[in-house]
Amino acid sequence: MNETIRLLQAHHSSRSYKTDPIPDGVLEAIIEAAHRAPTSTNSQEVSLVVVRNEKSRARIAEIAGGQPWIAQAPVFIAVIVDLYKTGLGVENAGGKQVFQRSLEGIVAAVSDAGIAMATIMAASRASGLGVVPIGGIRRDPQAMIDLLGLPPNTFPVDGVVLGYVGEESPQKPRMSIQSFRHDEKYHPEAIKPAIDAYDRTLQAYWQRIGRTDGLSWSANMAQHYSTFSRLIKSVAQKQGFTIEV
């Protein structure tokens, strides 16, 4: 099997890190890989904020709901949707940017941020580092905006922890491939059996690693997807992101 594919298939989140610093050359190569990641219409509407300051990482750990690995690992990279940058380009051409007020603009920018995030993780793993993606920074996006000094028309979408792994974590099982791959058309009849089987598989996994608080996939989805937060909407609107067309 191709080594790149093997690396991607072996992905798992690491939540135990050494305090050893990441050499500048390694970090620069990872960031350059993300810099070269594709973006819609060559918009390059993604920016990264690299956080190595110990106090700042501790604050991010707090913002994200108390995730100690953020403070433990030597580097945290925040992935930012950056329509401030594109807005300046539009102004240079004599126009006025309105893309941030459309659903297409938001979807395109977040999709590109996801591509950059995936590239960071793959490049980091290829460099011998552990990673864990952090969506918890959206628990208090205003706090992240203030901490990172983000201008209007930007938003902290997510982030990733980088560092040399202390204690390695097992790879969590996934739902069956039939729930993910659909040939020619979507096959809804495959989903419910896959969920039922995965609930059992995941519960067995939690028991195997000694996690008494582990939930089934269905219970976890019910916990997170049965409610929604208005906070992210209000902060996004304050930053300039609205859906008007």
Residue 50 CA to residue 69 CA, distance in Å, equals 16
Same domain, 177 and 96: no
Same domain, 22 and 53: yes
Q: Residue 179's pLDDT is what?
A: 96
126-169 pLDDT, tens digit each: 999 999 999 999 999 999 999 999 999 999 999 999 999 999 88
Same domain, 39 and 143: yes
Q: Residue 231's pLDDT is what?
A: 79
Record the tokens describing residue 146, joined without a space.
């203030």
Q: Residue 50's pLDDT is what?
A: 98
- Residue 221 maps to a domain: no
Same domain, 112 and 127: yes
- Residue 231 maps to a domain: yes
Record the tokens describing residue 19, joined without a space.
């305090």
Same domain, 72 and 107: yes
Residue 145: its H or E element: helix 141-148
**pTM, full prediction:** 0.94
Same domain, 57 and 152: yes
Amino acid (one-letter) located at 46: V
4-25 pLDDT, tens digit each: 999 999 999 999 999 999 999 9
Instruction: Report, as ranges of residue numbers, the positions in the chain whose pLDDT lies below 70.
Output: 245
Residue 120 CA to residue 103 CA, distance in Å, equals 26
Identify the CA nearest to 97 among candidates 88, 89, 106, 87. 87
Q: Residue 245's pLDDT is what?
A: 59
Same domain, 116 and 164: yes
- Residue 82 maps to a domain: yes
Instruction: Domain count for the chain, please give it.
Output: 2
Q: Residue 244's pLDDT is what?
A: 81
* Domain limits for position 71: 3-169+227-239
